[in-house]
Structure 1
């Protein structure tokens, strides 16, 4: 630590400079720590995402093989192989259509953040009123 002009106590300016230097050093160290932690987290997240991708690919292959097995199972019941494969394909189309209908219904029910938009508009009105020097307007804040 720096000393004052006569070798005794440091001046206020020196104390402020030292505090500023220490604070910037602390902030740099904290940022370096955060970078290191984020890098480790990103590697772990990337590896996990890759594992999920591989699992999804293998599940897709299993569905394809099970579909072929189902078609051959229907063939074993005495139907022509072409008809058996069409039955399996139609089954998948029906499942897909049901999922589309359910998804469309859920999308119609989805709404934006209406409450947040409303309170943001009210906040803007209050800030405008304060900026003009008016008193706060009457707003009904729903919380």
Structure 2
């Protein structure tokens, strides 16, 4: 057989070489994608942490704002009543409001079930279907 001086081209590579190259490129691509995802999630977590901190600061400022409004309500009532009576009325109104909110919260927590009922029902149904398919 005469040689024509042509070396083996990329098209003439063996199947084993192609599979090896495919495997290497796939694992390299997956590693690169994982690094990108990790960097992306790290950046998002940083933004989420800053956002949560800002929400916490906003909540604290709102808490102080509510305190100022309570003080304002006491001062307004103090124009027609003694200061102690105004403070007592505002405190009573706040306790009444807290009791109502607690009752609403109690009703909501009673509706919460610790067992995921729909998921349990779905799993039971799947098990029954598997049992039936075996017979």
* Whole-angstrom distance in 1 between the partners of 2:134 and 2:49: 54
State the 4+ residue runs in structure 1 displaced beyond 4 angstroms: none
* TM-score, scaled relative to structure 1: 0.78
Aligned twin of 1:139: none
Q: 1:103 aligns with which of 105, 113, 134?
A: 105
Flag structure 2 segments of 5+ consecutive residues without an equivalent. 1-6
Equivalent residue pairs, number: 125
Structure 1 residue ranges without an equivalent (≥5): 1-6, 136-143
1:32 matched residue in structure 2: 35
CA RMSD of aligned residues (A): 1.9
Alignment partners' CA distance in 2, 1:36 and 1:106: 39
Instruction: Give 1:108 shift.
Output: 2.5
- Whole-Å Cα distance in 2 between the matches of residues 104 and 120 of structure 1? 30
> TM-score, normalising length from structure 2?
0.82
Residue 18 of structure 1: SS of its match in structure 2? helix
- Work out the CA distance in 2 between the residues paired with 1:72 and 1:48: 36
Taking the aligned partners of 1:27 and 1:74, their CA distance within structure 2 comes to: 69
